Amino acid sequence: MTTLPLDLPEPGGAVMSHTARNYDPLPVTLTSGEGSWVTDTEGRRYLDCLSAYSALNFGHRNPRLVAAARRQLDRLTLTSRAFRDDRLDEFCAALAGLCAKDAVLPMNTGAEAVESAIKLARKWGHERKGVAAGKAEIVVFEHNFHGRTTTIISFSDDPLARCGFGPYTPGFRSVPFGDAAAVEAAVTEHTVAVLVEPIQGEAGVIVPPPGFLRALRAVCDEAGVLLIADEIQSGLGRAGYTFASDHEGVEPDVYVLGKALGGGIVPLSAVVADWDILEVIRPGEHGSTFGGNPLATAVGREVIRLLEPGDLQARSAALGARALDRLVAAELPGVLEVRGRGLWWAVELESGRATGRALAEELSRRGLLAKDAHGDTVRFSPPLTTSESDLDLALGIIEEAARAIADPGS
């Protein structure tokens, strides 16, 4: 091992560290969190309006989720799927119920769940539609984000995510997001599925035109292919409904879930579908050592209990609509567009002026944490449990910060 001099400054001015540089975080070091608030090493407090990309929909250290984790820590944490445990089936039944589907395949991270859904669709197409081995195709959308594995980045069009990581996995066709006619044109005899984010998150909270999801549902029904909704970021209350697909009353064939499913405590993801689809995966054909472990499913079961009454979803819809109205009405200088759904919105800056990163940094100086997305966009996704007064505070800070970077002299 080469020993790095620990105090040698890097070109950017930061101290040399041993952490791989696959991220470029804001210069804030957090030490604790509670609800919608986090505290840094200097004792400064910030409103968390990123919520770990929606993994913290129920806030930091939600007392019910922490209690569920504690109870389970004192009983059993891991068995592997070689044996049964007394938590898994209860979790799968509850999640299947929330999705109005038959069954659940548990995994850990979002990318693993997307990979699992891709394998499921290919096997289903092979066995049920007679698609020849190695020929299956899946229709995806431009500017998608589904994770970071080699197969998933193979159908990304983000050069940062993709370039240099080849060779790429074949079997994907990409069409413009929001264009159901393009999907219809891309479907061939080899197509097994359409994989869609009902609202594109990483692309900058892109809400598709009205009727798009219903049109997709019709195209999939007509062609006899699976509609797979990646609701990892858009689901579990974020967009004002249990699932963003609910906004158009659309039921996908397969849900892919993650992020908030683990309550911000553990990684927990899942593929949810009816038996006539999920049954094509048989013992030994797919798995994960940690997938569905009892610590994760104990937390996941409590996450579903938080969502079952529906009031968090309604809160997200009502407070989100109010927030969006206020931000639009503020007519902020240098802002091209404010858009979103539920407690999930994006502020897109006019290009050639201040960057999204500059706005995120200005926000952090004013006590609010958010993250720039693609282009000059900053996305906001506060915990669904954020109080109305904290939301008002957040909106005030966003307005002040946008004005400050538009007119640095003032």
Ligand X SMILES: *Cc1c(COP(=O)(O)O)cnc(C)c1O
Strand-pairing partners, residue 378, are 347, 372
* Cα(252)–Cα(250) distance, integer angstroms: 6
Binding mask 220-259 for ligand X (x = CB under 6 A): ----------x-xx------------------------xx
Q: Which residues neighbour 278 within 8 Å (Cβ) at sequence distance 6 or greater?
A: 102, 103, 105, 120, 271
Instruction: Mark the segment that binds ligand X (CB under 6 A) among 105-113, 133-141, 154-162, 340-348.
Output: 105-113
> Would you call 145 a catalytic residue per the annotation?
yes
Catalytic residue among 48, 85, 179, 230: 230
φ and ψ at 102, to 5 degrees? -85, -40
- 217 vs 259 by CB, closer to ligand X: 259
Q: Is 27 helix (H, G, I), strand (E, B) or coil?
A: coil
Q: Which is nearer to ligand X, 68 or 261 (CB)?
A: 261
Query: Is 83 an active-site residue?
Result: no
What are the E-state strand segments in 30-152? 30-34, 37-40, 45-48, 103-107, 137-141
Residue 259 annotated among the catalytic residues of the structure: yes
Helix (H) or strand (E) holding 304: helix 294-307
Assigned token pair, 278 = 């999920």
Contact map string, positions 109 to 128, toward ligand X, x by CB under 6 A: xxx--x--------------
Task: Pick the stretch among 9-17, 143-151, 352-360, 379-387 that binds ligand X (CB under 6 A).
Answer: 143-151
- String marking each residue 296-315 x if it binds ligand X according to CB under 6 A: --------------------
| Residue type at position 263 | G
Alpha-carbon gap, residue 182 to 19, rounded angstroms: 43
Each residue 144-163 as x (binds ligand X by CB under 6 A) or -, in order, gives -xxx----------------
The catalytically annotated residue of 58, 141, 145, 290 is 145
Rounded to 10 degrees, what is the CA torsion of 125, 129, 133, 136? -50
Which positions from 176 through 205 interact with ligand X, judged by CB under 6 A? 197, 201
Catalytic residue among 141, 177, 243, 259: 259
Q: Omega before 408 cis (within 30°)? A: no
Give all strands (DSSP E) within 10-119, no chain letters.
30-34, 37-40, 45-48, 103-107
> Nearest distance from residue 145's CB to ligand X, in Å?
5
Kindly determine how many residues on this chain lie close enough to bind ligand X according to the rule CB under 6 A. 15
Residues near ligand X (CB under 6 A) are 53, 109-111, 114, 145-147, 197, 201, 230, 232-233, 258-259
Catalytic residue ranges: 145, 230, 259
